[in-house]
Amino acid sequence: MTHLPDPALCPVCGSPNTCAMEAQRATGQDQPPCWCTQLTISPAALARIPAGARDRACLCPRCAAFSADDRIPAAP
């Protein structure tokens, strides 16, 4: 049985991802545009998402800022 990721948590570090789209889905309350719509997430950051979490949970702002030149950020 496959474990689905929590859509409110970053699939890389486990921190809250503060996804406005997930908050709106979960609460039914309108949200402002999500923080992720204001930036371009690098292919290196996207590649860190485990296959089973792709298109199921969003990165947190810290992990989304990861680039190929960065070290892996420590969990808060």
- Could you read off the pLDDT of 5-31 as tens digits, one per residue? 899 999 999 999 999 999 999 999 999
> Which pair of tokens denotes residue 18?
């503060």
Residues 6+ apart with CB under 8 A from 19: 7, 8, 34, 36, 58
| 28-57 average pLDDT score | 91
Q: Which residue has the higher pLDDT, 76 or 3?
A: 3
pTM of the predicted model, to two decimals? 0.77
Residue 38, burial from CB neighbour count under 10 angstroms (0-12, 13-18, 19+): exposed
Using the predicted structure, report yes or no on whether residue 32 has a pLDDT greater than 80.
yes
